[in-house]
Amino acid sequence: MNGLLLLIISIVVLSLAYLLYGRFLARKWGIDVKRKTPAVEYEDGKDYVPTTPAVVFGHEFASIAGAGPITGPIIAAMFGWLPVLLWLLFGSVFLGAVHDFAALYTSVRNKGKSIGYIIELYVGKTGKRLFLIFVWLFSILIAGAFADIVAGTFDGMSAAGLSGKTHASVAATSSFFILAAIFLGFLIRKRKSSDLASGIIAIDLLIVCIVLGIFFPVFLEKNTWLYLIFLYILIASVVPVWLLSQPRNYLSAFLLIFMVFAAFIGIVFTSPVISLPAFTGFNVNGNFLFPALFITIACGAISGFHSLVATGAAAKQINNEKYMLPISYGAMLLETLVAVLALIAVGSLAVNGKMPQGTPPQIFATAVSGFLNQIGLPLQISYTIVSLAVSSFVLTTLDTVARLGRFAFQELFSIENDDTAKNNLIIRVFKSKIFASVLVLLPAYLLAKMGYQTIWALFGAANQLLAALTLIACTLFFKKTKHFIFMLIIPTIIMLAVTYTSLVISIKNKILLFLNGSFIPRVDGIQLGIAVLLLTLGVIVAVSCGKKLLEKDKPETA
């Protein structure tokens, strides 16, 4: 299969999906350009911040396009390129992008509140609290997996003590990014600079950061970077969103778009051949196509994490409802394009049908830099920039998930109209930003020490189950407000079947390890406990929402 042909097919499918199905959903659900959004109505200068659509799109895209759309398709390519491509295109158009659009729409129409709020509104406080516990556990999983990936990318010291200049340059540039983001945040917020001015300044800052990173690399080992990364995301999770997370994501979006454009140009001019077979079988190394394919590709097709970004950040920043379609549906389709590029990358490096060696980010960076090298760009520079882009996506995701996990934990202890409870010291401590953030990041650090490979399948199952629960909650709101719900029901059923099957298999495998005497408590025990909790919480929340969905009641108006 020719990589260029595969890319062209994907672009055509995704473009038609946005123009036809995306706009159909917008008309069907009813976008009101005159209606005040939560960002405008509840502006507080911290979380509710009316923001230009370009910045919100950059924040959304950079947040959702972490390591997932690169890692998942590359791992799943063991089944062959055809199943991966079909799930990416079908899943994103009819499941993932619909999920993202529905989540953002539901949140904007409910004061920018979380999905937990929607569940409380229609199911009750118990359902909401169970859902928030689920989100808290999921945030721990994603923070642990992605922190390990980015620490490995920054590792400037090999096992023999030799320095890795490329990794050290990527680490240094990412560090300079933080300072540049703070400067840009003040510029956008305080000086009210236009989209054009902000964009030009952002590109200039990116160039400066890359140059400084290349000439002043920072050589530190992986464990040290792991400490620093968790310290950074702890700070990022508690400071105002406009100061660090929002401008940093905006900066990262330019780098991400450059990387996508560079990969696109490289593929167009080199027309790489995909050396992987179209299909390798339903069982590959003990992994069955169902549900492994749909769990491994946790991003790029459908991702529950996107709903947390949409309802926890974008819904509180968007300044007009007309921008909801591109910021949600459009950003998801663009993420799918990144996943397709990753599939082409791994296929181009395969030899005689065998997968290339290395981590998914390394495989992706090697392939794309190879494409660019063939059209004249020096290999070292291109590899550094692509590796920087990948690590930047992951850090951006960590920024966001730490804040969203903190929101979920704080919301668990939210009590209204109860002065005695509000003055309770324990509840006040648990609701504090620092304490809530620590209770997300500390267990995430322990998981990160195990390595992302050991928790990726569990993260994937939790991610897809979160998507299913979000779709159920959105369906409840759509039903109550007299909106068409068919396009939400089918994706919900598919994702529930996939995730419940995956979690049951995971639990079964851990029990077999215990019976065989191969059970490692500090690794398998933690994973078994999380899997059981996720499955239990997922079933209870889904059943509770399902019962409400089947009830006949008087519809409300939006």
Rounded to an integer, what distance in angstroms lies between the CA atom of residue 148 and that of residue 450?
9
* pLDDT reading at 86 higher than 90: yes
* pLDDT reading at 414 higher than 60: yes
Q: Is the separation of the CB atoms in 295 and 464 below 8 Å?
A: yes
Question: Rounded to whole angstroms, what are the CA distances from 216 to 169, 175, 176?
Answer: 7, 11, 10
pTM of the model: 0.84
Q: pLDDT tier at 415 (50, 70, 90 boundaries)?
A: low
Which pLDDT value is given to residue 366?
85
Q: Where are the domains of the chain?
A: 3-46+53-467
3-class secondary structure, 304 = coil
Which pLDDT value is given to residue 341?
93
Q: pLDDT tier at 190 (50, 70, 90 boundaries)?
A: low
Percentage of the chain beyond pLDDT 90 is: 28
* Ordered DSSP codes for 327-352: IIIIHHHHHHHHHHHHHHHHHHH-BT
Q: Is the separation of the CB atoms in 333 and 13 below 8 Å?
A: no
Which pLDDT value is given to residue 160?
41
Q: What is the 3-state secondary structure (H, E, C) of 255-288?
A: HHHHHHHHHHHHHHHHCCECCCCCCCCCEECCEE
Among 127-136, 411-420, 481-490, 509-518, the minimum mean pLDDT is found in: 411-420
pLDDT, one tens digit per residue, over 323-376 is 999 999 999 999 999 999 999 999 999 888 788 887 787 788 888 888 888 888
* pLDDT reading at 419 higher than 70: no
* pLDDT reading at 163 higher than 50: no
Rounded to an integer, what distance in angstroms lies between the CA atom of residue 393 and that of residue 68?
9
- For the record, the structure tokens of 508 come out as 């079964």
Highest mean pLDDT among 89-93, 168-172, 271-275, 414-418: 89-93
pLDDT, one tens digit per residue, over 276-331 is 999 999 998 888 899 999 988 978 899 998 998 888 778 999 999 999 999 999 99
Mean pLDDT across 154-175: 70
Helices (H), 316-418: 324-325, 331-349, 360-374, 379-412
Reported as type and span, the H/E element at residue 96 is none
Which pLDDT value is given to residue 159?
45
Q: pLDDT tier at 260 (50, 70, 90 boundaries)?
A: confident
Rounded to 5°, angle at Cα 351 from 347 and 353 = 70
Question: Rounded to whole angstroms, what are the CA distances from 372 to 257, 439, 519, 537?
Answer: 15, 43, 46, 47
- For the record, the structure tokens of 238 come out as 């508690």
* pLDDT reading at 23 higher than 90: yes
Between residues 556 and 251, the one the model is more confident about: 251
* pLDDT reading at 123 higher than 90: no
pLDDT, one tens digit per residue, over 423-471 is 677 777 777 888 888 989 998 898 888 877 777 778 888 888 999 999 9
* pLDDT reading at 192 higher than 80: no
* pLDDT reading at 519 higher than 60: yes
What φ, ψ does residue 359 adopt, rounded to 5°? Answer: -75, 155
- HSE (side-chain half, CA atoms, 13 Å) at 126: 6
What is the pLDDT of the chain when averaged over all its residues? Answer: 84
